[in-house]
Every structure is written in structure tokens, then in C-alpha cells.
């Protein structure tokens, strides 16, 4: 009880989530006895000593290079050429570009920051309200950590021993479904909100030109997925090669990177990676305390005693993840709850890859839900729009994406079709 009070008390006081988790874990260890305190550094090291974790900073670095060098602008032009002619065309383009951008970074906040700086102002100039433009960007941003390469899939696969390649493959169809349903919401808004209409269907020449300009950016996610799913490279190796590719394209072909840019890119990558790894290290201490006290087994037993129906258990898991995601960082939630929920999903007969994608998608939705949705605050800081204004326009998208989550959770074939097709 003291551990729970300490954690939420420190969070309420505004302490960073990594420190809150670490201090709460240390309080739990002290309660176990002083001799266990000497083992805490070993647990921190063990929590980070996983080779697949190296893929995260590489993917983050590759995405930062692509974004800073302006390569991602080609993706936006290509998306606009494909769907920009529709009513609400720039909103549709935002969503399609999010799918393309997802294959570069795997991070929702990177998507939100990049499009918050570029597409949101462009949508405002075209006649969209700033709140609606931010809402569309926030809704599309969670496609990033769903479609591979996904940092959450890397974390989940590493700590739970689930195939990262299988998780990557399983994330493709859910990510595309999120894009499709959000475009459906935009289409429903088109007449009611009188969204601006594009200039008409583009010619084949315009589409071809946009494809040529965005080809090098589109080629990177294709290469990443192809090399991993084809078994030619591990996720870590593919991430390292992606960095080399991004440096070559951005520095040699586009000539858009200066030494100052490289310094700022490295600094930002270090900060993002440091925050994630601090949370992982701290959560490993708290997770060790929970395991020692058999808390995961108690939670699983409590859920199973409430009902043995797999459908009911899945519903309870979804409600738990969505509720905790409202008030807690998703990386910390994943690291703490995955060892609790994964064994429970096995007991009710869920495929490990299916369970992993369900958990990841539920947490991704939390990135755009108040009060602590990271993408909301990124967009608010980048665009100047209030979080309340974004949230007001965002609810239809949240409900639509929760509907996709429910489909994914109760219809395993949607998740497992691509992994089975590829033999993963």
C-alpha cells in the first residue's frame, strides 16, 4: 500500500514518472529488508541489458535525421497528391502521411511534433480550425507506434520474449484500419463542418512527380520491414542500417544536414532515449518488488475468480489499460503491467502476438486521451492551441479508435493474418 501511495503521491506532486517509479520501487525493496537493497543496482542493469533495446535509439535517430533533413516533406506531398482532392482533403492527407511517417520513426510524439510544425499551420491557412487540425494530427499520430517499427513492440517483445518480427507484422493491419476509420470520421465531418475541398483530382503526371519526390522516404520503411520480416536482419541491425541510409540520403543526396543539425539531432535522440531507458530501469525495480510479493499472480487470480470467460477477461484487461493510460506514461505502464497481463492472456488461450498488439494498441490510444496524453501536450506546445480545444474536437476519433481496439481484441484473425501469411 505504501508503494502505491508513494507512486501516485509523487506523480501528483509533479515528479517525473521515471523517478516516481524508481522511488516507489525502492520503498518496496526497503520494506522487504535492507539486504535486498544491495541487489537494486543489479536489477537496474538487468532491466536494460537486452540487445533488442538498442533498436530504439537507432530508430529514433533515423526518424530525427529524416525529419530534420526535410525528407518527410516528400511524404506529405505524395499523400496530398493521392487524397488531397477530396472534401477535407488536407485532413485526409494528414492521415495518409501519418501512415507513411509511421514507417520512419515508430514514435507518436515525433509524428505529432513534425506535423504540428508543418501540416497544422498549412491546414489553418486552408480554412481548418486550429483545434480540428490538431485533433486530426493527434488521431493519426498513434499510427506511428502501431505500424512497425514500433518502440512499444520492441519493449514488449524484449521483456516478454515474444517475436519482435511477429509483433511488427501484426501491427500493419491494425495501423491501416486506424487510418481507414479516421478517414471515415473525417468524411462524416466533411459536410457537417463544411471542411475545405481540394482543387480536383490530380493528373497522373502530378502523382508521378510526387511519388518521385517521396520515393527515397517511402523506400526506407519498405526496406526496414522487408529486411526484418524476410529474416535478413534483426530489428537492431535494420535500425542501424536505417540510420546509415537516412544520413546518406539527407546528407549526400539532399545536402540538407549541417554539423549543427547533426549535433541537435544527436542531443534530441539522447534526451528521448534517456527518458525511455530511465523509465525502463526504474520499472524493473518496481517489477522485481511486485514479482517478489506475487502481485501479478494475485491480480491474475482476482480476475479469473471474477469470471473464467475469456471474453470477459479480455474486456477487463482493456478497461484496465485504458483507465491506467489516462494517468500514467505508456512506457511505464507497459513495463509494469506486461508481466502481469501476459501470463493471464496465455491462461485464457490468447496467442502471445495477438495479446501483445492488443496491449500496445490500448496504450497507444492513451497517447491522445486527457489528462496526460503525450501527443496532446506536444501539439499544444508546438501550435499554441489549448489542450481543451484539441480534446473537444478529438472525441469522435478516440471513440472510432477504441472501436478498432475492440475489433482487434475480439477478432484475432485481424491481428494474426499478416504474421501467419509470412510464416512468423
Domain ranges (residues) in the chain = 39-421
Interatomic CA distance for residues 27 and 382, integer angstroms = 37
pLDDT at position 135 is 92
What's the mean pLDDT in 279-289?
A: 76
Whether 275 has a pLDDT exceeding 90, the answer reads no
* Distance in angstroms (rounded) separating the CA atoms of residues 349 and 355: 10
CA atoms in the 13 A half-sphere facing the CB of 157: 28
What distances in angstroms separate CA 374 from CA 35, 112, 325, 326, 398, one per listed residue?
38, 9, 11, 10, 14
Q: What's the pLDDT tens digit per position in 192-202?
A: 877 777 666 66
| pLDDT tier at 347, thresholds 50, 70, 90 | confident
Q: How many CB atoms lie within 10 A of CB 346?
A: 13
pLDDT at 414: 87
Per-residue pLDDT, 184: 92
The whole-model pTM stands at 0.81
Q: pLDDT category, 109, cuts 50, 70, 90? A: confident
Long-range contacts of 246-250 (CB under 8 A, 24+ apart): 246/61, 246/62, 246/65, 246/66, 246/69, 246/71, 246/220, 247/65, 249/66, 249/69, 249/71, 249/216, 249/217, 249/220, 250/65, 250/66, 250/68, 250/69, 250/70, 250/71
Q: What is the CA radius of gyration of the chain?
A: 21
Q: Which residues contact 32 (CB under 8 A, 6 or more apart)?
A: 289, 292
Asked if residue 353 has pLDDT above 80, the reply is yes
Q: Return d(Cα 404, Cα 178) in angstroms, integer.
A: 7
pLDDT for the residue numbered 105? 63
Q: Give the pLDDT confidence score for residue 198 in this predicted structure.
A: 67
The confidence score (pLDDT) of residue 180 equals: 93
Residues of the chain with pLDDT > 70, as a percent, come to 89
Q: Which helix (H) or strand (E) holds 387?
A: helix 387-410
Q: What is the pLDDT of residue 1?
A: 63
Return the number of other C-beta atoms located less than 10 Å from residue 196's C-beta.
Answer: 16
* Predicted local confidence at residue 104, as pLDDT: 66
The neighbour count for residue 233, using CB atoms within 10 Å, is 19
Is 82 within 8 Å of 190 (Cβ atoms)? no
Lowest pLDDT segment from 111-115, 169-173, 179-183: 111-115
Inform me whether the pLDDT recorded for 288 exceeds 80: no
Task: Reply yes or no on whether the pLDDT at 397 is more than 90.
Answer: yes
pLDDT digits (tens, 9 = 90+) for 116-155: 777 888 888 888 889 898 999 999 888 878 888 788 888 8
State yes or no: pLDDT of 203 exceeds 70: no
At residue 406, the pLDDT reads 95
DSSP state of 197: B
CA angle 416, 419, 423 (to 5 degrees): 130
**Predicted confidence (pLDDT) at residue 271 exceeds the cutoff of 70:** yes
Residue-wise pLDDT for 361-380, tens only, equals 999 998 888 766 778 887 88
Model confidence at 356: pLDDT above 90: yes
Cell numbers linked to 336:
509494469
Per-residue CA distances from 390 to 232, 368, 371, 424 (Å): 42, 10, 12, 39
Amino acid at each position: 500500500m505504501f508503494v502505491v501511495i508513494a507512486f501516485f503521491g509523487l506523480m501528483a506532486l509533479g515528479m517525473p514518472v521515471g523517478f516516481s517509479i524508481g522511488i516507489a520501487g525502492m520503498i518496496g525493496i526497503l520494506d522487504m529488508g535492507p539486504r535486498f537493497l544491495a541487489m537494486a543496482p543489479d536489477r537496474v542493469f538487468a532491466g536494460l541489458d537486452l540487445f533488442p533495446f538498442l533498436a530504439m535509439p537507432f530508430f529514433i535517430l533515423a526518424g530525427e535525421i529524416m525529419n530534420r533533413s526535410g525528407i518527410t516533406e516528400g511524404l506529405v506531398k505524395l499523400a496530398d497528391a493521392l487524397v488531397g482532392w477530396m472534401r477535407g482533403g488536407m485532413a485526409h492527407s494528414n492521415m495518409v502521411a501519418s501512415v507513411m511517417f509511421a514507417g520512419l520513426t515508430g514514435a507518436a510524439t515525433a509524428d505529432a511534433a513534425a506535423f504540428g510544425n508543418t501540416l497544422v499551420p498549412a491546414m489553418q491557412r486552408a480554412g481548418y480550425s486550429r483545434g480540428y487540425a490538431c485533433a486530426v494530427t493527434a488521431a493519426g499520430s498513434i499510427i506511428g507506434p502501431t505500424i512497425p517499427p514500433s518502440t512499444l513492440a520492441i519493449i514488449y517483445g524484449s521483456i516478454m520474449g515474444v517475436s519482435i518480427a511477429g509483433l511488427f507484422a501484426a501491427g500493419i493491419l491494425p495501423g491501416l484500419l486506424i487510418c481507414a476509420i479516421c478517414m471515415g470520421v473525417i468524411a462524416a465531418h466533411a459536410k457537417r463542418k463544411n471542411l475545405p475541398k481540394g482543387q480536383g483530382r490530380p493528373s497522373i503526371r502530378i502523382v508521378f512527380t510526387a511519388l518521385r519526390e517521396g520515393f527515397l522516404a517511402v523506400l526506407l520503411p519498405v526496406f526496414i520491414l522487408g529486411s526484418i520480416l524476410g529474416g535478413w536482419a534483426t530489428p537492431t541491425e535494420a535500425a542501424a542500417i536505417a540510420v546509415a541510409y537516412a544520413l546518406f540520403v539527407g546528407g549526400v543526396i539532399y545536402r540538407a544536414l549541417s554539423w549543427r543539425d547533426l549535433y541537435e539531432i544527436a542531443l534530441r535522440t539522447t534526451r528521448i532515449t534517456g527518458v525511455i531507458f530511465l523509465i525502463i530501469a526504474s520499472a524493473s525495480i518496481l517489477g522485481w518488488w511486485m514479482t517478489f510479493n506475487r502481485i501479478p499472480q494475485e491480480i491474475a487470480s482476482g480476475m479469473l475468480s471474477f469470471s473464467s470467460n475469456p471474453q470477459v477477461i479480455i474486456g477487463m484487461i482493456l478497461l484496465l489499460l485504458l483507465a491506467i493510460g489516462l494517468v500514467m506514461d505508456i512506457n511505464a505502464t507497459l513495463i509494469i503491467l506486461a508481466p502481469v497481463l501476459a501470463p493471464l492472456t496465455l491462461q485464457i488461450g490468447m496467442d502471445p502476438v495477438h495479446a501483445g498488439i492488443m496491449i500496445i494498441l490500448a496504450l497507444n490510444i492513451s497517447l491522445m486521451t486527457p489528462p496526460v496524453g503525450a501527443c496532446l501536450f506536444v501539439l499544444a506546445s508546438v501550435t499554441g492551441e489549448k489542450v481543451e480545444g484539441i480534446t473537444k474536437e478529438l472525441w469522435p476519433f478516440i471513440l472510432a479508435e477504441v472501436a478498432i481496439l475492440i475489433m482487434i481484441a475480439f477478432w484475432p484473425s485481424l491481428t494474426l493474418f499478416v504474421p501467419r501469411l509470412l510464416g512468423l
